């Protein structure tokens, strides 16, 4: 706390600090922090669409940006005295200070009849024909991908979905297929483990797959134990203030999967399940697979068959050696951190509703109508959620290691060899291009060893169909948008094409 106070005092006396390096040098400590930039549309300029001075497209929007020292979504210390007001292009990513664009006012729009950009043609009708390639999958509603907030009149398809009740945060999301189907997708979130953060992603994936595929899919996802909000439908084991480690989260996830299958089971056909996880959820899936394929727990899979895994932004192979892991290790492992941060978050939640919402919006820069804003407020108010997230983070640093990933892959390979199952078990991995929670050198070594056809293929070519892809987007490239690790807040539409392509590949292998 003394260090945090010194940081706060230094920031207040220093004015604007674009990076946290100045604080680190002043304090003489290594970078044990998590710095996050919160962005939102500039109030009064929400409908502006200006011309980008870099690529020439009329898809530049006015935004605010505010860097914060944060721990587990809880912003603690602002790293500047005010929000930066900028103009950012949703095509090429170019940004500049709003003060440098005197031509922009709250009513700025493209001239009548002006094409929506020289770099791309007019919008085309939506298609769906995923092809394996090293560029964003073809066939997703066409036109180039755009960052959160893209305009429909700029040639982008905007998905509409019903907003949840202002007073409800689900711990389980279930989206049935349009017609009875034995195919199920079961999703596990990252940390913080609230599935409500991924509601839009799951709905877009459900809509995309069931709109264009001949096979119908049921989609479900669950939060982890300990993340129950005041309106959750379930409390795991009535554990009071108990915090759950990774092994217990694996047990809990297996129970929720089994309960879900039991409630939706088609008596005539065995359920076929694809597991999809994000970040920490990918490690939980790996541990679930290892647990399922041990001799003592095979009976858990009597009425369903797991036919593939999809890992989105996995912390492979060692989260503690990632750029952000190295920075955060010291503060995350501090034993008093969960209690202190949980107390601060609960204090914000217990303010009057309008004031609490305003504070969360002020700290996170989420738009007032954002579901992420409400979900974060509910997360702050959950009985154990913030403490549970930090408790899990401590275990992640200790347990997410190369040896654990290898053990899980070996268990899957061994099971398929013993059962003499036809075909290979498909596993698809999608890495971020510069993911702060992944060490690029270790990632590349992992891909070469296990996924590269010219690599050692340590577990054999006959049993695992293990493929990895790094986000092909390039920062500054007009034709792409670099997808961040926390894609569920503002970038779900950019991940859905990859997830849908992987689902189609898995189904094609297993049908």
For residue 192, whether the previous peptide bond is cis, meaning omega lies within 30 degrees of 0, is yes
According to DSSP, the residues that pair with 428 across neighbouring strands are: 310, 467
pLDDT for position 93: 75
The predicted model gives 340-365 an average pLDDT of: 82
The residues near 251 (Cβ < 8 Å, ≥ 6 apart) are none
Q: What is the pLDDT of residue 481?
A: 76
Structure tokens at 344: 């601060």
Please report the pLDDT score of residue 7 as a whole number.
Answer: 36
Q: Which two tokens stand for residue 467?
A: 């493929």
So what's the pLDDT on residue 498? 93
d(C-alpha 39, C-alpha 493), whole Å:
18
Residue 424 predicted with pLDDT over 90: no
Q: How confident is the model at residue 380 (pLDDT cuts 50, 70, 90)?
A: confident
Domain residue ranges in the chain: 2-110, 172-323+395-510
Q: How far is CA 492 from the centre of its chain?
A: 8
- Tell me: pLDDT of 374 over 60: yes
Q: The pTM is what?
A: 0.68
Quick one: pLDDT at residue 268? 67
The pLDDT score that the predictor gives to residue 220 is 94
Fold of 172-323+395-510: Rossmann fold (3.40.50)
Instruction: Out of 354-363, 387-396, 424-433, pick the least confident.
Output: 354-363
pLDDT band at residue 161 under the 50/70/90 scheme: very low
Assign 3-class secondary structure to 256-312: HHHHHHHHHCCCCCCEEEEEEEECHHHHHHHHHHHHHCCHHHHHHHCCEEEEEEEEE
Render pLDDT for 277-324 as a digit per residue (tens, 0 to 9): 999 999 999 999 998 887 554 544 578 889 999 999 999 888 888 888
72-100 residue pLDDT tens: 556 666 666 778 889 988 877 778 889 88
Grade residue 52 by pLDDT with cuts at 50, 70 and 90: confident
Residue 427, helix vs strand vs coil: strand
Determine the Cα–Cα distance for residues 384 and 381; give it in Å rounded to an integer: 8
**How far is residue 496's CA from residue 202's CA, in Å, rounded to a whole number?**
9
Tokens 């674009």 sit on residue: 18
pLDDT value, residue 339: 80
Percentage of the chain lying above the pLDDT 70 cut: 71
- 362 pLDDT higher than 60: yes
| Residues of the chain above pLDDT 90, percent | 21
Calpha distance 394→387 (Å, rounded): 11
pLDDT of residue 416: 79
β-strands 183-188, 172-175 pairing: unpaired
Residue 379 has pLDDT above 50, yes or no: yes
332-336, 383-387, 394-398, 487-491, range with the lowest pLDDT: 332-336
pLDDT, residue 233, reads 47
Instruction: Determine the pLDDT at residue 255.
Output: 92
* Residues 472-497: tens digit of each pLDDT: 876 555 556 788 888 988 888 889 99
Is a pLDDT exceeding 50 seen at residue 17?
no
How high does pLDDT run on average in the chain? 75
């Amino acid at each position: 706390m003394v260090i945090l106070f010194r940081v706060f005092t230094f920031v207040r006396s220093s004015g604007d600090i674009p990076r946290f390096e100045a604080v680190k040098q002043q304090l003489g400590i290594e970078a044990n922090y998590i710095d996050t930039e919160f962005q939102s549309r500039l109030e009064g300029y929400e409908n502006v669409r200006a011309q980008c001075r870099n690529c020439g497209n009329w898809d530049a929007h006015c935004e605010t940006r505010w860097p914060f020292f944060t721990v587990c979504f809880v912003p603690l210390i602002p790293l500047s005295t005010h929000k930066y007001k900028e103009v950012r292009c949703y095509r090429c990513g170019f940004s500049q200070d709003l003060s440098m664009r005197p031509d922009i006012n709250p009513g700025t729009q493209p001239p009548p009849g002006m094409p929506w950009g020289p770099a791309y043609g007019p919008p085309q009708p939506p298609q769906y024909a995923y092809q394996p390639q090293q560029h964003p999958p073809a066939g997703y509603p066409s036109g180039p991908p755009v960052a959160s907030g893209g305009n429909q009149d700029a040639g982008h398809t905007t998905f509409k979905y019903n907003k949840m009740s202002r007073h409800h945060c689900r711990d389980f999301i279930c989206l049935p297929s349009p017609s009875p189907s034995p195919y199920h997708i079961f999703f596990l979130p990252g940390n913080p483990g609230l599935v409500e953060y991924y509601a839009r992603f799951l709905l877009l994936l459900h809509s995309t797959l069931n709109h264009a595929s001949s096979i119908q899919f049921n989609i479900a996802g669950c939060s982890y134990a300990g993340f129950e909000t005041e309106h959750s439908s379930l409390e795991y084991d009535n554990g009071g203030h108990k915090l759950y480690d990774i092994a217990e989260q694996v047990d809990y996830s297996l129970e929720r999967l089994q309960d879900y299958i039991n409630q939706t089971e088609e008596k005539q056909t065995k359920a076929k399940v694809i597991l999809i996880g994000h970040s920490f959820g990918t490690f939980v899936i790996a541990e679930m697979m290892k647990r399922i394929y041990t001799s003592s727990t095979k009976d858990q899979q009597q009425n369903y068959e797991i036919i593939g895994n999809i890992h989105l932004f996995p912390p492979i192979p060692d989260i503690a050696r990632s750029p952000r892991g190295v920075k955060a290790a010291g503060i995350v492992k501090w034993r008093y951190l969960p209690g202190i941060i949980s107390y601060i978050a609960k204090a914000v939640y217990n303010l009057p509703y309008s004031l609490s919402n305003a504070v969360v919006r002020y700290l996170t820069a989420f738009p007032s109508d954002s579901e992420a804003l409400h979900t974060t407020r509910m997360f702050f108010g959950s009985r154990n959620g913030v403490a549970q997230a930090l408790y899990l983070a401590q275990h992640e640093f200790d347990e997410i290691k190369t040896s654990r990933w290898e053990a899980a892959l070996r268990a899957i390979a061994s099971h398929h060899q013993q059962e003499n199952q036809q075909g290979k078990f498909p596993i698809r991995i999608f890495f971020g291009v510069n993911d702060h929670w992944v060490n690029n050198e270790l990632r590349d070594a992992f891909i070469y060893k296990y996924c590269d056809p010219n690599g050692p293929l340590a577990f054999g070519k006959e049993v695992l169909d293990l493929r990895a892809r790094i986000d092909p987007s390039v920062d500054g490239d007009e034709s792409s948008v670099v997808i961040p690790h926390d894609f569920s807040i503002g970038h779900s539409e950019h991940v859905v094409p990859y997830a849908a392509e992987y689902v189609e590949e898995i189904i094609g292998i297993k049908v």
